[in-house]
């Protein structure tokens, strides 16, 4: 296991888990945690055999209260610290959003502010029925970054994003599901995330990684195929995953893809 004081990375077979572990502060994210996230995500992405990463809390009923406002209040008068903090938050968000393998957020409890931003950066979000999600910048007199705002708009559309950002409201899990802020509700989101990760681990990694790369390009504004995306599509036909998938289909057996 790789860890800092408040965030841990564990790997078990094809599934890695990035665990927030600061219960006395409701997992509020301080500077050291923001700075650790890119390194831990990279370790998970490059670990042999890992197929998916789950973001979760060490404590049931407590996902993340957001950025550490006490730290921000004490240090934000320094322009140098603000720049360092903004760079660390951006680095953490980009590391998750641009990671090559699938990421799943298992949300149990409040998922607010910076914690909601981490969940937005994941590919899929599974929440418990009692969870609340929101971005409370308007209650603090802050402005949400463009990158994080785009992650929100990509999920729920501009109208719902404006409603959330203008008010700083917290949404219940049912409403979050209705507007597309989460993809699934479960009484035990971590178990549901582990089940989904196991299903991901059984499918083609080449297909998943290629699909994730193409979806990211669409979200970044690419309107049509170019030489790179066309080559990605074409090269799959000569790859080992295609041979295994077709062979398994013809033999009426379950495919076994190499990790």
| Residues 180, 168: Cα–Cα separation, whole Å | 17
**Residues of the domain holding 41:** 2-200
pLDDT at 3 over 70: no
pTM over 0.85? The answer is yes
- Tell me the C-alpha distance between 163 and 10, whole Å: 37
Q: Read off the pLDDT of residues 171-226 as tens digits, 9 standing for 90 and up.
A: 999 999 999 999 999 999 999 999 999 999 999 999 999 999 999 999 999 999 99
Total tally of structural domains belonging to the chain: 2
104 with 71, same domain: the answer is yes
**pLDDT tens profile 139-158:** 999 999 999 999 999 999 99
If you average pLDDT over every residue of the chain, what do you get? 95
Phi and psi torsions of 134, nearest 5°: 180, 165
Q: Are 52 and 200 in contact (CB under 8 A)?
A: yes
For the chain, where are the alpha helices, taking DSSP H only? 31-46, 69-75, 79-97, 114-121, 137-140, 146-167, 173-179, 189-202, 205-219, 227-235, 240-251
Same domain, 115 and 14: yes
CA angle (203 as vertex; 202, 208 as ends), nearest 5 = 135
Q: What's the rounded Cα separation, in Å, for the pair 72 and 136?
A: 15
- Asked whether residue 17 falls in the same domain as residue 145, the answer is yes
Cβ count within 10 A of residue 77: 8
Task: Judge if 123 and 36 occupy the same domain.
Answer: yes
Residues 146 and 208 in one domain: no
Whole-angstrom distance, CA of residue 204 vs CA of residue 210: 10
Task: Show which of 162, 178, 200 is a domain's final residue.
Answer: 200
């Amino acid at each position: 296991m790789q860890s800092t004081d408040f965030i841990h990375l564990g790997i078990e077979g094809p599934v890695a888990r990035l665990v927030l572990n600061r219960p006395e502060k409701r997992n509020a994210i301080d500077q050291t945690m923001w700075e650790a996230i890119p390194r831990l995500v990279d370790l998970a992405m490059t670990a042999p055999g890992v197929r998916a990463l789950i973001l979760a809390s060490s404590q049931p009923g407590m996902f993340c209260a957001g950025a550490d406002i006490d730290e921000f209040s004490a240090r934000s008068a320094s322009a140098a610290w603000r720049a360092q903090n903004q760079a660390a938050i951006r680095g953490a968000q980009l590391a998750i959003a641009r990671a090559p393998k699938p990421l799943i957020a298992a949300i149990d409890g409040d998922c607010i502010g910076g914690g909601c931003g981490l969940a937005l950066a994941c590919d899929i979000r599974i929440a418990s029925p009692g969870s609340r999600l929101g971005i409370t910048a308007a209650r603090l007199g802050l402005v949400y970054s463009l990158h994080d705002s785009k992650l929100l708009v990509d999920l729920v559309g501009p109208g719902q994003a404006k409603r959330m950002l203008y008010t700083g409201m917290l949404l219940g899990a049912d409403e979050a599901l209705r507007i597309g802020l989460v993809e699934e509700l479960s009484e035990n989101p971590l178990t549901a995330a582990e089940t989904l990760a196991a299903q991901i681990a059984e499918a083609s990694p080449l297909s998943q990684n290629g699909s994730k790369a193409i979806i990211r390009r669409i979200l970044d504004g690419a309107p049509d195929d170019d030489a790179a995306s066309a080559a990605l599509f074409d090269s799959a036909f000569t790859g080992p995953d295609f041979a295994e998938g077709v062979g398994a289909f013809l033999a009426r057996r379950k495919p076994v893809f190499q990790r």
